[in-house]
Each structure stands twice: as structure tokens, then as C-alpha cells.
Amino acid sequence: EGAMGLFDGVDLAGSGSTAQLAKILGAPVVLVINAARMTRSAAAVVLGCRQMDGDLNLAGVIFNNVARPRHADMLRRAVEHYAGVRVLGTIPKKRAFDIPDRHLGLVPAGEDERLHAALDALAAEAERNLDLDGILAVAARASPLAVPDRPLYPPPVPGACVTIGVFRDRAFSFYYPENLEALEAAGARLRYIDALGDGLPPVDALYIGGGFPEVLAAGLEANRPLRDAVRRAGAPGLPVYAEGGGLL
């Protein structure tokens, strides 16, 4: 799954975009297009993506927010006629499918009791309306990759005995598991900290992940002992690595 738009990267050339990554991997691309209030114009969107980068393997389209079966049929015929790209299915517009978002991401699963019901409804709709076999067939056409024969993680540092504190709670919850696994594989011991209630244990470094600290600002403000301890430890040089949208 790509983030942002297909060609959105860090510069005018689209460096780091989903399109660039797909070409590096030799992976076919399936566009997911918001079809609300459009029919024939959808073909222009697909054609524009194809013309933007002729080296991209644009293998299929899925339409989201489709109003009714007639709408789906018009979209399918327009794209397959004008763009020559296969339509792999449509997802109807239903309020039950809405998953609330916040800023640049979704509301975490633990905060939304309706999420599991929405996902179950979406899964059932996908089975009815998406060509799942066709999507798997598209994925199977990805180019084989030459994978170097080397360990995923470097070997542990001999004699290392490092404890890394990791804020992991409702305020700081955005972590890639692979990063935590890599730290452990290198020999680090991870100690998880609840920034809303814990104090600062003895650690050799501190890792603060992303999240929505502004939503829980009152709780973080109330845990003054932890804030003071982090400030005292960081001032003389405790390594502190923080991720997020600038609020840290």
C-alpha cells in the first residue's frame, strides 16, 4: 500500500514515491480511485497516471465510493474503453465503512470501538465486489528480486548490555515492529514505558515513537515526574531519539 498519491515524493522528480518504489521492485500497480461524482472522467485519471510515467506497470484499477451498480458499470466501461486498463472491482459508498481519520492518519484501533465491525463489513463487501483472484494474479506477475544472501540484521555487538527505554502507550503508539526487532537483534534490551503513568527507569537511551500526544496532553502534563526525569537525563547527554510530526 502506497502513502499519499501514486507520484507524490519528496521533490519534483517524485523521489521516494510509490511509483518509484514500484519500479525498483518491478511490482505491478493497482490504482484505487475515489470515484465519487465521476464516471467518464475516471478514464482521464487513469490515462494521466499512465502518461506521467510510461515505465510504470499499471495493471488494474479499483474504484471506491461507488454510488450504485449503474455507476460501477459506467466507470468500468469508460476505463476499459479509453485507457485499456482492467477494472478489478468496486467498493460501494456506505456510511458503515467510514473509518475516522485524524491529521495525516487514522484514529488508532484502540480508540474506535466500531473499527472491527467496519472491517468485517468491508471484508464481506470485498469478497462480493472485488476480483480477488484477479488481484492475486496481478501480484504474481511481479518481477523476481535478487535478494543478497546475508542476515536481515547485523550480528549483536559483542559484550553489549544496553537498555533502551521505549515510550509505548496511548499517546505514543506508532512503531514499526521491525525497528524494535532490529534493536533487540543488535543486543539491546527494550524496556517499555507508559508516559501517562510511569516514571523513568534506569536506561541507556530513550526511544519516543510517533502518535497523538496532543490528544492526551492533559495526561502527559499530569505526569510531571517523568518529564522532569527525562529533562534531567537528557541534559548531560542521554541519547533521546524521537519520531513524529514535530510535536515532540
Q: 115 and 211: one domain?
A: no
For residues 180 and 107, the model is more confident at 180
For residues 90 and 107, the model is more confident at 90
CB 171 within 8 A of CB 196: yes
Q: What is the pLDDT of residue 54?
A: 93
174, part of any domain: yes
**Mean pLDDT to the nearest integer, 46-72:** 96
135, part of any domain: yes
**Mean pLDDT to the nearest integer, 230-245:** 91
CA distance 12 to 6: 13
Name the pLDDT band for 149 (thresholds 50, 70, 90): confident
Name the pLDDT band for 111 (thresholds 50, 70, 90): low
247, part of any domain: no
For residues 2 and 204, the model is more confident at 204
- Check which CATH number belongs to the domain holding 171 and give it: 3.40.50.880
Q: 121 and 225: one domain?
A: no
CB 20 within 8 A of CB 9: yes
Q: 61 and 96: one domain?
A: yes
Q: What is the pLDDT of residue 159?
A: 76
Among 47-61, 86-100, 171-185, whose mean pLDDT is lowest? 86-100
Q: 123 and 27: one domain?
A: yes
The range of the structural domain enclosing residue 125 comes to 18-140
8, part of any domain: no
Q: 135 and 173: one domain?
A: no
Q: 23 and 136: one domain?
A: yes
4, part of any domain: no
Q: 32 and 93: one domain?
A: yes
CB atoms within 10 A of CB 79: 27
CB 238 within 8 A of CB 206: yes
- Answer yes or no: is pLDDT of 70 > 60: yes
31, part of any domain: yes
For residues 147 and 199, the model is more confident at 199
Q: 22 and 61: one domain?
A: yes
Q: 104 and 189: one domain?
A: no
196, part of any domain: yes
The average confidence (pLDDT) of the chain is: 90
Q: 81 and 179: one domain?
A: no
3, part of any domain: no
For residues 68 and 118, the model is more confident at 68
- Answer yes or no: is pLDDT of 247 > 60: no
Q: What is the pTM of this model?
A: 0.73
Segment 2-14, tens digit of pLDDT = 878 999 999 999 9
Q: How many domains does the chain have?
A: 2
Question: Tell me, what amino acid is at 184?
Answer: E
Q: 216 and 108: one domain?
A: no
Q: 173 and 227: one domain?
A: yes
Name the pLDDT band for 105 (thresholds 50, 70, 90): low
**Mean pLDDT to the nearest integer, 158-165:** 87
